[in-house]
A and B are shown apart, each in its own frame.
Chain A
Amino acid sequence: GAVVSQHPSRVICKSGTSVKIECRSLDFQATTMFWYRQFPKQSLMLMATSNEGSKATYEQGVEKDKFLINHASLTLSTLTVTSAHPEDSSFYICSALRITDTQYFGPGTRLTVL
């Protein structure tokens, strides 16, 4: 149990376009999900905490108007990178919190902005 999926696994887009990444908890409900970003050779950086039915909480320095997060159901959270630029190219990873347990991570989405 505790499987988290992400879609797509890899996306390439042109500068200025928007990209949506989905995160799903497949076998448990998650009222809280988290979004991370990871640059090459670096550790994961927490971007935001997503709570079902309410607004996401963003970490300091993360632009909430650029990284739109929606957590519309207990099994789905989405991250939309708006007006993407090459510096947004990164590995985006989500996690889902299973109640009374811990966070389980998705496989990640590789975003390349040309």
Chain B
Amino acid sequence: DAKTTQPNSMESNEEEPVHLPCNHSTISGTDYIHWYRQLPSQGPEYVIHGLTSNVNNRMASLAIAEDRKSSTLILHRATLRDAAVYYCILGYNQGGKLIFGQGTELSVKP
């Protein structure tokens, strides 16, 4: 299973954009890039996923490097409710199993 590397923690100020990086240098052509986030004592919440092109939804944007060896999750205006652990995960096609790493713990300061 291809692995991802994320910073252990990041800090952000409320109402400012947040860029969460993820490196996946061993990604294969069929691996999708998935982002989930998790609050304490809750199941992970789906954020966004993509294959090659940048993706936008109401929660976030996903910017994928041209060589696909890295990606960035962008929260356009951080709120206190965005404080969570963010996981970047590679999955085979769209239906493959997801192997979670340690993720990035995002804290948001008022």
Contacts and interface: CB of A to CB of B under 8 A. Distances in A.
A45 B94 contact: no
Contacts of B44: 44, 93, 95, 105
Nearest to B93: A100
Contacts of B56: none
Please classify the interface of chain A as helix (H, G, I), strand (E, B), loop, or mixed, using the class held by over half of its residues.
Answer: strand
Interface string A22-44: 00000000001010100000011
Interface string A78-114: 0000000000000101010101111111111010000
Given A43-B101, A45-B100, A102-B34, A107 B95 contact: no
Interface of B: 32, 34, 36, 38, 41-46, 49, 87, 91, 94-95, 97-103
B99 A104 contact: no
Interface residues of A, number: 26
A43 B94 contact: no
19 contacts: A2-B46, A6-B43, A34-B97, A43-B101, A43-B103, A49-B97, A91-B41, A93-B44, A95-B44, A95-B98, A101-B94, A102-B46, A102-B91, A102-B94, A103-B34, A103-B46, A105-B45, A108-B43, A110-B41
A102 to B, nearest CB: 5
Contacts, number: 54
Contact of A106 (B43, B100, B103): B43
B46 A43 contact: no
A98 to B, nearest CB: 9
Contacts of A93: 43-44
B43 A100 contact: no
A91 B39 CA distance: 13
B49 A102 contact: yes
B46 A105 contact: yes
A43 B100 contact: yes
A46 interface: yes
